Amino acid sequence: MLSGKQRAYLRSIGTNLDAIFQLGKNGIEEGFLNQIEEALEAKEIIKVNVLRNSEYDAREACDEICSRIDAEPIQVIGNKFVIYKKSKKNPRIQLPR
């Protein structure tokens, strides 16, 4: 569980990220979750864009994905959200205490 200070730090990183995934009409399927998990293992923090043709809004998609892959929701703004999961093999982001 992240503290408010850690979440704020991750939000500051997430602000400058470009969305590397788009969630559309195919929804949240296993292949999509696998790609997100691989990206989180490599980068630890990613931004996802939810397209208008998706059955989810950004908050629903963020909550669903985070619960299924055990990631931390960091921020939801408009149709985008940022999630974080510490890398098992190569942690890069040093969280403040």
Q: Which amino acid is it at 80?
A: K
Q: What residues contact residue 64 under an 8 Å CB cut-off, 6+ apart?
A: 28, 56
pLDDT in tens, 32-86: 999 999 999 999 999 999 999 999 999 999 999 999 999 999 999 999 999 999 9
Q: What pLDDT was estimated at residue 1?
A: 86
| Contact of 2 with 71, CB cutoff 8 Å | no
Task: Judge whether 37 and 69 are in contact, CB under 8 Å.
Answer: yes
How many structural domains compose the chain?
Answer: 1
Among residues 58, 73, 6, 72, which one has the least CA distance to residue 28? 58
In a domain, 28, yes or no: yes
> 15: domain CATH number?
3.30.110.60
DSSP state of 76: E
User: Residues near 2 by Cβ (< 8 Å), separated by ≥ 6?
Assistant: 10, 72, 84, 95
pTM above 0.75, yes or no: yes
Q: Is residue 89 part of a domain?
A: no
Q: For residue 17, what pLDDT is reported?
A: 97
| Residue 91, in any domain of the structure | no
